[in-house]
């Protein structure tokens, strides 16, 4: 069941493989959901209720072994960056973010490389 979530998310445009913008051969897939199950995103969506509590951003990086990326959770003018080490290729990793009920509106999570270049973005709304 969980493995079926990723193809559905790809079809809905919630997961998008994106090549890095420099000359390396790094590819990134990203998805936001309510949780991670068996190292895969679960309960992915483009919108979540205001009382969601917590969300998870899942990333699969191919070609980036030995480097680091950042998940930058962004809501309005607020940013919450988290650095993640990439230990192999491919490598799956994720972060979670507590979402306060009053933090409604547009959100995004950007995956950035060490130089700050945006490799992939997941957009979603909370409470709308």
Report the alpha-carbon distance of residue 84 to residue 128 in Å, rounded: 30
pLDDT at 3 > cutoff 80 = no
Intra-chain end-to-end CA distance of the chain, in Å: 28
pLDDT of 35-92, one tens digit each?
999 999 999 999 999 999 999 999 999 999 999 999 999 999 999 999 999 999 999 9
pLDDT one-digit tens code per residue, 104-119: 999 999 999 999 999 9
Give the three-class secondary structure for 39: coil
Instruction: Report the number of distinct structural domains present in the chain.
Output: 1
Q: What CATH number should be reported for the domain holding residue 82?
A: 2.60.40.1930
pLDDT digits (tens, 9 = 90+) for 4-40: 444 444 444 454 444 444 435 789 999 999 999 999 9
* φ and ψ of 63, to 5 deg: 90, 10
**Binning pLDDT at 50, 70 and 90, where does residue 128 land?**
confident
The C-alpha atoms of residue 87 and residue 59 are separated, in whole angstroms, by 13
pLDDT, position 25: 77
Domain extent, residue 120, equals 2-126
Q: Burial level of 95, CB count in 10 A (0-12/13-18/19+)?
A: buried
Given its phi and psi angles, is residue 66 left (phi above 0), alpha (psi -120 to 50 degrees) or beta? left
Give the pLDDT of residue 24. Answer: 58
């Amino acid at each position: 069941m969980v493995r079926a979530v990723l193809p559905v998310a790809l079809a809905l445009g919630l997961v998008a493989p994106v090549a890095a913008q420099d000359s390396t051969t790094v590819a990134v897939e990203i998805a936001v959901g309510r949780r991670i199950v068996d190292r895969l995103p679960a309960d992915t969506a483009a919108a979540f209720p205001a009382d969601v509590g917590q969300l998870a951003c899942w990333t699969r990086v191919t070609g980036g072994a030995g480097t680091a990326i950042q998940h930058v959770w962004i809501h309005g003018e607020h940013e919450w960056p988290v650095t993640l080490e990439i230990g192999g290729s491919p490598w799956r990793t994720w972060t979670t973010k507590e979402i306060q009920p009053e933090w409604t509106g547009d959100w995004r999570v950007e995956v950035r490389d060490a130089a700050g270049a945006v490799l992939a973005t997941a957009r979603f709304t909370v409470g709308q």
